[in-house]
Structures are given as structure tokens and as C-alpha cells.
């Protein structure tokens, strides 16, 4: 009987798994690809001709969406494939639909907000559209805006221009497109998808109604807790409590980098049931359920406070989570300011071994200001092993492309500038003795195109010469 029950249970589980993978398109959110998958070299395309930047950007947008949805034929999305529905009269349609193995992909168009709100609007759009959006500077150029790096405050894109590498690059390195000058986007209106290395934030409304149920996020990308909040008659919403760490988060707070799947619980305030309490000259904070915060941080009215093991608010220097913090006489954590010869950063942690205060001053491994220390000058540096490029903070690019003074350079895994022939993905590039990438020119019997890639099996140099499958000129 037990064996029979196991067989039945196994059959049911198999049936459930089958159902999970044969749901019709749009019936459930799918996580079929990782962040690395949708940024693979095979996803990117260059526009086939001048003036087709919006079409090429739409191809990359739809490929990334199809990958995330699990479509097996995502690579078949090309300019030629979608042209009849997306480009019927010499320009990208405001709205169009295209069908793949996973179902219909709906592409729609809209305008962006005014300049002062545009950056935040794009950040929020990318949080719900991991496939990206086509960013268009009217009459000039379009790129695929791929993601936002909150740590370095940088947008990334893929520029379909033939003068740019087929790669994820900084938006600032694109051809004449920026957050400030682009006023329109195309986006996917089909059911939401998410990357498989994302996690889910769940919300327990704790007696309330409405508000968010779930939110997807990718750790370390600066995702924010949703601004949507629940409501409850006779109560005021106070924030979201992380019951594991006993930290209160507010809508719009940055999601910590170490979170995976996580749950937050709504906190409510009833008259005199929760909030600050005073005992003699000391303060403590009571929660709605009558308990109080201890050995933890809490955020109140935009400021962070820390409470000791007995639950009393602390002041002065404290060490928590491996960092030093300074709490003022009011208990509020000091941020972005000097405390004597020590500097506390925007997150409140005392700075150590780094440049601070707009990179004007340096503090040592103990956090103490080092008078007279000189900041690095950004530029080229030569050692016995070769050339490398140093940023102002002393760091350097490695295993990547970098545009410097209008020319493209590639740096190896150790950060040294490369020369000669290099293979990246399935493409060959030639870097001159100066390190500059060769483009639109011959190197011996091989021709490098405008984006630096070696031409293969095609006519080049204005259609005058043909190179074979190995890239060699065929007289």
C-alpha cells in the first residue's frame, strides 16, 4: 500500500511539473534566463543600414524578452523577420505585435517625463522591464537601454551603430543618446518576465488591505522597495518590518545586497500604542505589538537609530555589523560628514582606506584623515609589463573595452592594454601597437569593419573586395 501511495504521489508530482512547463503564453511569469544570458554577445546586433537604429534596437529588445520567456526561437528575431510588422513604411511602428514560439510579443511606444523626472522614470521602468527599453533621441539615434547600476549611478546600453562594438557599454559611450536628450521609448507590453537570478520580495499586510503582494529584484542592482502601501482603518502605516533583522524599512528604501527571497511585514501605529517612549533621560522605541527594538537599527522619519541590548537608544560612536557609526545626541545616525578627523559616508559607516568628501581627502585603515595625501591622476601608466589605464580612485579597467579620447582599447584580465589580434566571443579584432582598435581598414589581407570586427564571407571596402570564411582577401 505504501509503495502504491508513493507511485500515485510521484505521478501527481510529475503531472504538476508537466503543467508548469506547458502553461500557455502569458498565463504565468517565466524565469528562463539569467542576467548573463540576456547580455551574451549572441543577443546583440548592429543595424544593417543607416537610419535603421530603432529597428535593430527593437530586435535586441525582443530577443531579450523572448530569452527571458524561454522561447526556443529567440535568435530568429532579426531585422528581416520583423520588418513586415515593425517597419512597413520606412520607420518603426509606434505599436506592433510579433509571434514567436512562446506567443505574441507586444511592442508599444510612449513619451518620457520632463528632464527632472526622466532619470527616475527610466530606473523604475528597468526594474519592471529586465529586457530593457528602446531609448530614442528623435531624429538622431536610438539604443537599447539594458540596465542601471545603482552603485556607480550609471546606465548601460547596447548601441546598434556599426561604429560601436556589439556589447553592453555605458550609455555615455553611445552615439549621441543620453537620459537628458531622449524623449521616447519602445517597451514590451506583454506579460512580465524576470531574470532567473532574481529573487522575490513578499509583503504581509498584517491586518491591512490593498498594497503590494510581491516584487521581483536582482540583488546588488540598487532595486528599491515599492512605493505602494496598504491601508487599515484606524491605523497609520509605519513601514515594512524585516522580522529576521528587526529593521524597519520604508517605501523607496534600497533593497540590501544580501537578500534572496524575503518577506516584510506591514507595521501599523495606533494612538499611543507604538512609537518613541521616554524613561528618565533615556529613550526606547515601542512596536505596535508592545515589544521594543533592541540590538537593531530602525528608521524613523528618514533617520536611522540604533538600540542596545536593553532596548535603549544609543548615542556617540558604536560598532555594528563590523562598521563604526556615529549617532548624534538626538540618536540620529550621522551621514556624509566629518566627525573630528573621521568621515562617515552616506550609509553612515565610517570610511576606511578610501578617498572621501568628493574625493578631496584620504582616510587610512583606521579611518583617520591623512593630511597631504595626493589623489591619483587619471590616465595612462606604463610598467615593465605594459600599459594600463588608471582612474582617479586608483582602480583600472580589466577584461573589458574602454573608450579613451575617442578610440577603443581592450584590457586583459590583469588590466593591461592589449595589442595585435584578439578574439572576443566569435569575433576577431586587431589592436594597433598604440592599443587603438583598427576600424574600417586593412590589416594585411584582412579587413576590419567600422565596429572593429574582422569581416568574413562578405564584400568589403565599399564592395570592391571579397574576403572568405577565414577573413582573407580573395583576389
Quick one: pLDDT at residue 2?
38
CA distance to 19, 234, 237, 420, 430, per residue, from 469 (Å): 45, 74, 66, 20, 17
DSSP string for 199-219: EEEEEE-TT-BSS-SEEEE-T
Alpha carbon distance 177, 191 (integer Å): 28
β-bridge mates for residue 421, sequence order: 430
Place of cell 548573463: 36
Quick one: pLDDT at residue 234?
67
Quick one: pLDDT at residue 197?
66
Give the residue from 399, 393, 428 showing the smallest Cα distance to 416: 399
Quick one: pLDDT at residue 285?
92
- Please list, in sequence order, all residues whose beta carbon lies within 8 angstroms of the beta carbon of residue 327, skipping any fewer than 6 positions away: 305, 306, 314, 315, 316, 317, 318, 333, 334
Quick one: pLDDT at residue 346?
96
Question: Which residues in the chain show pLDDT less than 70?
Answer: 1-32, 151, 196-197, 234, 270-273, 393
Quick one: pLDDT at residue 142?
97
Strand 199-204 and strand 262-269: pairing? parallel
Alpha carbon distance 103, 186 (integer Å): 19
State the number of CA atoms in the 13 A half-sphere of 202 facing the CB: 7
Gyration radius (Cα) of the chain, Å: 27
Amino acid at each position: 500500500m505504501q509503495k502504491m501511495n508513493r507511485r500515485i504521489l510521484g505521478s501527481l508530482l510529475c503531472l504538476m511539473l508537466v503543467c508548469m512547463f506547458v502553461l500557455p503564453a502569458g498565463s504565468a511569469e517565466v524565469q528562463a534566463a539569467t542576467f548573463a544570458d540576456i547580455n551574451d554577445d549572441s543577443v546583440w546586433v548592429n543595424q544593417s543600414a543607416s537610419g535603421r537604429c530603432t529597428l535593430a534596437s527593437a530586435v535586441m529588445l525582443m530577443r531579450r524578452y523572448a530569452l527571458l520567456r524561454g522561447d526556443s526561437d529567440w535568435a530568429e528575431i532579426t531585422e528581416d523577420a520583423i520588418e513586415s510588422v515593425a517597419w512597413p513604411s520606412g520607420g518603426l511602428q509606434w505599436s506592433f505585435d510579433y509571434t514567436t514560439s512562446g506567443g505574441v510579443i507586444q511592442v508599444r511606444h510612449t513619451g518620457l517625463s520632463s528632464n527632472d523626472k526622466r532619470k527616475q522614470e527610466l530606473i523604475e521602468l528597468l526594474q519592471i522591464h529586465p529586457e530593457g527599453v528602446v531609448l530614442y533621441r528623435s531624429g538622431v539615434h536610438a539604443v537599447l537601454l539594458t540596465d542601471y547600476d545603482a552603485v556607480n549611478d550609471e546606465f548601460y546600453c547596447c548601441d546598434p551603430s556599426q561604429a560601436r562594438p556589439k556589447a553592453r557599454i555605458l550609455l555615455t559611450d553611445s552615439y549621441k543618446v543620453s537620459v537628458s536628450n531622449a524623449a521616447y521609448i519602445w517597451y514590451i507590453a506583454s506579460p512580465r518576465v524576470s531574470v532567473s537570478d532574481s529573487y522575490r520580495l513578499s509583503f504581509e499586510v498584517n491586518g491591512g488591505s490593498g498594497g503590494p503582494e510581491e516584487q521581483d529584484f536582482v540583488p546588488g542592482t540598487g532595486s528599491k522597495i515599492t512605493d505602494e502601501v496598504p491601508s487599515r482603518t484606524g491605523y497609520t502605516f509605519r513601514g515594512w518590518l524585516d522580522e529576521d533583522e528587526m529593521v524597519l524599512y520604508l517605501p523607496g528604501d534600497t533593497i540590501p545586497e544580501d537578500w534572496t527571497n524575503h518577506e516584510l511585514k506591514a507595521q501599523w501605529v495606533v494612538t499611543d500604542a507604538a512609537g518613541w517612549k521616554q524613561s528618565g533621560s533615556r529613550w526606547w522605541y515601542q512596536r505596535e505589538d508592545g515589544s521594543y527594538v533592541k540590538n537593531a537599527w530602525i528608521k524613523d522619519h528618514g533617520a536611522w537609530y540604533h538600540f542596545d541590548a536593553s532596548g535603549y537608544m544609543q548615542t556617540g560612536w558604536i560598532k555594528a555589523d563590523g562598521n563604526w557609526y556615529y549617532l548624534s545626541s538626538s540618536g540620529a545616525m550621522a551621514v556624509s560628514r566629518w566627525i573630528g578627523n573621521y568621515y562617515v559616508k552616506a550609509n553612515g559607516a565610517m570610511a576606511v582606506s578610501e578617498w572621501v568628501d568628493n574625493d578631496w581627502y584620504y582616510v587610512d585603515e583606521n579611518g583617520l584623515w591623512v593630511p597631504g595625501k595626493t589623489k591619483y591622476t587619471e590616465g595612462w601608466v606604463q610598467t615593465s609589463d605594459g600599459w594600463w589605464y588608471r582612474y582617479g580612485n586608483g582602480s583600472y579597467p580589466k577584461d573589458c573595452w574602454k573608450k579613451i579620447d575617442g578610440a577603443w582599447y581592450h584590457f586583459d584580465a590583469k588590466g593591461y592594454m592589449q595589442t595585435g589580434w584578439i578574439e572576443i566571443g566569435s569575433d576577431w579584432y586587431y589592436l594597433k601597437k598604440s592599443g587603438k582598435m583598427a576600424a574600417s581598414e586593412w590589416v594585411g589581407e584582412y579587413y576590419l569593419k567600422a565596429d572593429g570586427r574582422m569581416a568574413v564571407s562578405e564584400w568589403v571596402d565599399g564592395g570592391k573586395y571579397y574576403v572568405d570564411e577565414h577573413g582573407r582577401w580573395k583576389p
